[in-house]
Amino acid sequence: MNDFEKETKMKALKNLKLIGISILLVAGLSACDKPGPAETAGKKIDQTADAAGRKIEQAADKVGEKLGEQSVKTGAAIDDAEITAKVKAAIFAEPGLKSLQISVDTVKGVVTLSGSVDSEPSSDRVKLLAGAVAGVTRVDNKLVQKSFK
């Protein structure tokens, strides 16, 4: 879990705690307005506090689960974008390849190369460069060889 996710989860838990405390205060004040012994009011406050605590805990668990799910999805998207950027940089840095029209797409670590190259060795070189990037699990080479004039 990264710092942003931790901070978001902490804010959500803080907000849930504030809501719970507010509920307890309202319940306590309403119990104080009713006639009867202080013991009865105290019991009602305790019961309300227990119920609110359980609801806050359940809500916090749900928030934690949702944040965990989102962090996995976000992590995959960031990883794929990072892989795509690194593959493009490797291609651009290679003499003779940077002028070619090559598209790079990454989904779950699988890099798809498309576009056109001037020769089979160029196509092989692009595939090799893409496969050397950390996080790449497979390279689908859909490059087409065209003669450039």
Which CATH number is 90's domain given?
3.30.1340.30
Residue position matching structure tokens 């460069």: 129
Residues 6+ apart with CB under 8 A from 130: 87, 90, 91, 104, 111, 113, 136, 139
On whether both 90 and 34 belong to a single domain, the answer is no
Specify which residues 81 forms β-bridges with: none
Q: Which domain holds residue 58?
A: 3-77
The helix or strand, by DSSP H or E, that contains position 141, with its residue range, turns out to be strand 138-145
pLDDT score, position 58: 75
On whether both 69 and 90 belong to a single domain, the answer is no
On whether both 68 and 99 belong to a single domain, the answer is no
Of 49, 60, 53, which Cα lies nearest the Cα of 24?
A: 49
pLDDT score, position 47: 76
Provide the number of structural domains found in the chain: 2
Report d(CA 82, CA 104) in Å as an integer: 12
Residue 20 pLDDT greater than 80, yes or no: no
**End position of a domain, from candidates 28, 55, 77:** 77
Residue 4 pLDDT greater than 70, yes or no: no
- What mean pLDDT is predicted for residues 39-43? 69
On whether both 136 and 72 belong to a single domain, the answer is no
Q: What is the pLDDT of residues 74-118, one digit of tens each?
A: 555 568 889 999 998 888 888 877 667 889 999 989 999 999 888
On whether both 114 and 61 belong to a single domain, the answer is no
pLDDT score, position 80: 86
Q: Is 34 in contact with 41 (CB distance < 8 Å)?
A: yes
Q: What is the mean pLDDT of the chain?
A: 77
Residue 27 pLDDT greater than 80, yes or no: no
65 against 93, higher pLDDT: 93
